[in-house]
Amino acid sequence: MATGRPKKRYHHGGLREALIEAAEQELAEKGIEGFTLRGVAKRAGVSHAAPAHHFRDTGELLTALAAVGAQRFLSGMTEREAAAGDDPRGRFVATGRAYIEFALANPALFELMFGSKRPDFDEPIYTTPASQSFRVLVDGIAALRGDDPLTSREGRAAVMSAWSLVHGFASLVIAGRVRFIREDFEADPTGTIERLIAPVVPRPEEKR
Amino acid sequence: MATGRPKKRYHHGGLREALIEAAEQELAEKGIEGFTLRGVAKRAGVSHAAPAHHFRDTGELLTALAAVGAQRFLSGMTEREAAAGDDPRGRFVATGRAYIEFALANPALFELMFGSKRPDFDEPIYTTPASQSFRVLVDGIAALRGDDPLTSREGRAAVMSAWSLVHGFASLVIAGRVRFIREDFEADPTGTIERLIAPVVPRPEEKR
DNA sequence: CCTGCAATCTTGACGCTGTCAACTTGAATC
DNA sequence: GATTCAAGTTGACAGCGTCAAGATTGCAGG
């Protein structure tokens, strides 16, 4: 019989990535408030102090995890936007829908990215994809308005209204505070999102 | 000199209330992620195990604290609404503003009430004021629409749009993710809120 | 008054947590 | 082949929530 499977190597090989994966599982199962570094180490099959050789402390691991989430978040929005065609309104609605669907598909990760203070959100690995996501939002509004929204109070308020709407919806649904709309959403996700965000992106015939 | 100040009584007297007060301080200073039961006990000047005689565990103390927050939240909205006069739109905007101002004035408490899983949100002490707040929202929309919004998908979406908008705004500002709008807000809170929520409560002349 | 009891608070212990220090392993470089 | 150093291990520490047992006190019934 040849070499047994490489189960008990002393050196892991790709422990850093394995820890991030394990951390995502731990976060998804326990939530941010039940998240434990020792639990992550156990999932990765490694001793409790091993993570210290790859992450200074728990916050640094959570920063890396938040960055992974931000990257996935950005990808989801840009892919949906590209698939939506040329109509500015259709593209914008698609990104809003991607925002909500990411949040509902990755609730704990979403919480980590927007509701926790443990990661360091000033780290470039996080700020880079996060800023790009913000750019997607601003550009979408710009295409609808025909100007740079950040240069006027009205424009900034328009950006903020749209962002607040999808973000608030995602947060409230995740928090489990709005069962009445969750039913509508599961029965008809597209229509529900359309009705939800209609106030901030009026249909063409309703404009003016 | 008469009795020295009653500093070292063995029995506290009103420890339960004192613990809730201390818990609010602890929460405000450390945030939900740094909140510690032993820290609360220390603030109240009692031993680390004293709280157990008034709250089964930390979650029960946090439930009581969330209930206090929900009550204060409700009071702020109803007071503002009453002070706003008779115009349905003015009343509704006032409640929205009260929502946002409560969140910004009590960020950690707001996080506890909407972003944490540690309190038991099914406890009547919490659900009672929370349901009343929801009622304020629904009644406000009803006055604007002239029907019961909960009976139609469009109505429910309208409720959800308004709630999501103010909730998302508060969450994002608290999370520190939108410095650009915070400046606008501090320079002109009323106008900023007006512009923000304008999409969901159009001015009369813009209606129809 | 005073006696006993139950409520309230303290002390001490347990297992779990994150982090640090010291040691071991093994792979790559000279 | 010896050495070195990154990547693992074990063990320790203080702080955490919670439980059990003992100390103190207010109070009700004699």
Q: What is the pLDDT of residues A130-154, one digit of tens each?
A: 999 999 999 999 999 999 999 999 9
Predicted confidence (pLDDT) at residue B10 exceeds the cutoff of 70? no
Burial class (CB in 10 A: 0-12, 13-18, 19+), A125: middle
Whether residue A204 is predicted with pLDDT greater than 70 in this model: the reply is: no
Average pLDDT over residues A104-126: 98
The answer as to CATH 3.30.565.10 being correct for domain B56-206 is no
pLDDT value at residue A67: 98
pLDDT value at A157 more than 50 = yes
**Record: contact B118-A172, CB cut-off 8 A:** no
> What mean pLDDT, rounded, does chain A reach?
92
- Could you tell me which chain B residue has the CA closest to the CA of A199? B199
Contact A171 B114 (CB under 8 A): yes
pTM over 0.85: yes
For position B8, what pLDDT does the model report? Answer: 59
The b-or-e profile of B90-108 (16+ CB within 10 A means b, else e) is ebbbbbbbbbbbbbbebbb
- Which helix H or strand E contains A170, and what residues bound it? helix A153-174
Phi first, then psi, for residue B122 (nearest 5°) are -95, -5
Residue A207 has pLDDT above 60, yes or no: no
Specify the residue for token string 């709280």.
Answer: B51
Q: Note whether A166 contacts B: Cβ–Cβ < 8 A.
A: yes
3-state secondary structure of A56: coil
Instruction: State yes or no: pLDDT of B2 exceeds 60.
Output: no
Q: Is A29 on the interface with B (CB under 8 A)?
A: no
Residue given tokens 């009795």 in the structure block: B3
Residues A34-44: what's their mean pLDDT? 98
What's the rounded mean pLDDT across residues A107-114? Answer: 98
- Cβ of B111 within 8 Å of Cβ of A115? The answer is yes
**pLDDT tens-place string over residues B125-184:** 999 999 999 999 999 999 999 999 999 999 999 999 999 999 999 999 999 999 899 899
Distance (Å, whole) CA A111 – CA A171: 8
Residue boundaries of the structural domains of chain A: 12-55, 57-206
Interface test with B, best of A144, A152, A161, A184 (most B CBs within 10 A): A161
* C-alpha–C-alpha distance, residues B178 and B107, integer Å: 15
Distance from C-alpha of A171 to C-alpha of B138, rounded to nearest angstrom: 19
pLDDT over threshold 90, residue A201? no
pLDDT (average), residues B15-32: 98
Q: Which residues in 43-82 of chain A line strand D, with CB less than 7 A from it?
A: 46-50, 52-54
pLDDT of residue A3: 35
What is the per-residue pLDDT for B201? 83
CA distance A99 to A88: 17
CATH assignment of B12-55, among 3.20.20.70, 3.40.50.300, 1.10.10.60, 3.10.580.10: 1.10.10.60
User: Is the pLDDT reported for residue A4 higher than 70?
Assistant: no
Q: Is the CB of A47 under 7 A from strand C?
A: no
Cβ of A11 near strand D (under 7 Å)? The reply is yes
- Length B41 CA → C8 C1' (Å): 14
User: Does the CB of B5 sit below 7 A from strand D?
Assistant: no
> For the structural domain made of A57-206, what CATH number should be given?
1.10.357.10
Tens digit of each residue's pLDDT (9 = 90 or more) over B46-91: 999 999 999 999 999 999 999 999 999 999 999 999 999 999 999 9
Q: Is the per-residue pLDDT at B5 higher than 50?
A: no
Give yes or no for residue B12 having a pLDDT over 80: no
Report chain B's terminal Cα–Cα distance, integer Å. Answer: 76
